[in-house]
Structure 1
Amino acid sequence: MRRWLVEAALAGTALALGSFFLATTLNEGDGWPIGVELVAGTVAITALIRYRRSRPVALALVLVVLGLLFGLPMGATPIALFGVALYRTAAVAVAVTAVHAVSLATVYLIALGPTRIYWEATTFLVLLHVILVGIGMLVRSQRRLVRSWAERAREAEQGDELRVEQARLAERERIAREMHDVLAHRISLLAVHAGALEVRRDAPRSEREAAGVIRQSAYEALEELRQVIGMLREPAEDRPQPTLDDVPALIAQSREAGERVELRLAADGVPAGVGRHAYRVVQEALTNARKHAPGAHVRVAVTGHAEQGLVVEVGNPLRAGGSGLPGSGTGLVGLRERVQLAGGRLDHGPTATGEFQLRAWLPWTP
């Protein structure tokens, strides 16, 4: 709406100035018939509205010629010169203004001769155009200054955001290091005690086997902890990530720890990224089952194809109580966020048959 108001105001100004120049020409008994003047004025004002932003130099040169031949188009000429000063460099604006001044002075000298009217008319028109061009150059400089201030403010804001993000990353790394120091010490003690129990000759064979599983799990926990800490320092592409092919090994580890897990894997050619998400879904589901339904029979099914997508389903009977293992309560929240970021869906909760079921759908995206 504002643009249309500006265009209307410019057209009205050009028409008013052109009418003044046309009336002056008619009073002196010169000029073209009024019909020709109206056609020339309409063409000049239409071109001014349409091309003053996109082609200001070409428009100004055309209107200079029309303004020297006709009276009504003279009103659009100063506005066209103002547009040159507004949308082009100062050198271009000065050059076009100089061409117009020289042309105007030459044509008027030929038509009027070195009379008083010639000097008055030439001085008035040249000063009018020079003043408008100067105003246009000032407006252009002011706009560039405002844009430079806005750019500096934006860069300063981005610098503040970058510093805040760097501070967050540094704090996360510090917390992760502290976590590594504490957990590594505790897990190492667990592995040492489990190893001692494993080599005791007077311990039953089942206890020694369980101690071996604990020692191996503690060792793997230490390795995974080191990998998590390494995520803060290394690009993710440099670290090997689990895929769907690693799910059977994950199930085997759970079985060695005493869980009863049934696996049905019916998906081939799964992209590595999708398989990694599926692995994490199964891993978190088995952890929850071990915490909240120890000893329950867990069913894991991973099925799908390229047209359907990948579906991961994990179910186990609901049981009162749990294993007593500590938990943050945010595992499923983080898992839902992971699945949603991958473009999938995650549903979980008790069913009517007295089971807890977790179902994740992942798009088959390479």
Structure 2
Amino acid sequence: MSNKIRLGILGGGGDSLIGVLHRVASAMFDKYQLVGGVFNPKFEDNVGFAEQIGLPTDRVYKDFDTLIEEELKLPADKRMQVVSILTPNFLHYPMAKKLLENGFNVICEKPMTTTFEEAKDLHATLQKSKTVFAVTYTYTGYPMVRQMRELVKSGVIGKIQKIDAQYYQGWINPIIHDKEKRQTTWRLNPEKSGISCCIGDIGTHAFDMLEYVSGCTIESILADLNYLYDDNKMDIDGTVLLRASGNVKGLICASQIATGEENSFVVKVYGDKAGLKWEQENPNYLYLMEEGKPLQVLKPGHSYNSELSLDGTKLPPGHPEGIFDSMGNIYKGVAKAINKEKYDHGEFPTMIDGVRGMSFIEKAVESHKNGNVWTSIDKI
């Protein structure tokens, strides 16, 4: 048997982009071997998909409960070591909880749960299970995002004065304006997606990213969300003011109705000496803006970058890193933790990131509904 980490996957079958992303990411460093899972709700589709990707079907199960039951019958050195959850949001919590209770390591898509209470319960479950849990805030895997984090930590930009993130997409435009269409997507269904669409889907990326790169803890927020139509129960646009530790203030702007935008995620941190800016659509460029000096553009693969950045760089300078690479870096970090190897705490988002992300989502909705008032983020 291979000494690679035995991986199972829940969801991600068919033409799912997130499924392709996780499978490629897991294979990137030759650390994992996909051994089975439940990829589709219908068993015949499940088996057909496994055959399509060249996976033996003996460990392709009819449902999640059967996967747990059958895997636990196998010897410890044969059963799945880690399971990735790629399902719609409402399934994240029950699946993750049962996996943790049965001793599996877990890699979970965000948002980690649909409520903060569920997130706290998962955190308590993880503490008992003492396994590894990662939440895939994918963009933290980019080498130049990691370089941004290290530059801030080393004091290059000085004392932080402002943090700012903008995440604009336009994908929901063709759906939101048609009453029938907007009732067909699970992302606008509170029973499947939770209480938020835009903030829960992409706003939470911005929240996690700002804490990741700045080292600040966001303590309270004031949110103004846009639902566009009275019969639409899910936000599709929002602006959130931030108050963070160290008297740092900031802003998150997130939208899924930014017409013409594809995946425009821009992150900025400003100190009293310099500022840093990174754009997801141009991930190879980290801009260092120092007072009274020419603009510097830092790129991955060069020796001037930090160890954390270089460890996540797989190509020579001038070759673009992509989202597959970013997700691959997260899988690589989880593999180190599972194998009890030394790893940097910046290598993968943890349960704490997932819990804080859920608090952010709920508090943003609460702030908006209470008349756009300041609301504290829960501590964990």
- TM (norm. structure 1) is 0.20
Bigger radius of gyration among the two? 1
Name the structure where strand makes up a greater proportion of residues.
Answer: 2
- TM (norm. structure 2) is 0.19
Name the structure where helix makes up a greater proportion of residues.
Answer: 1
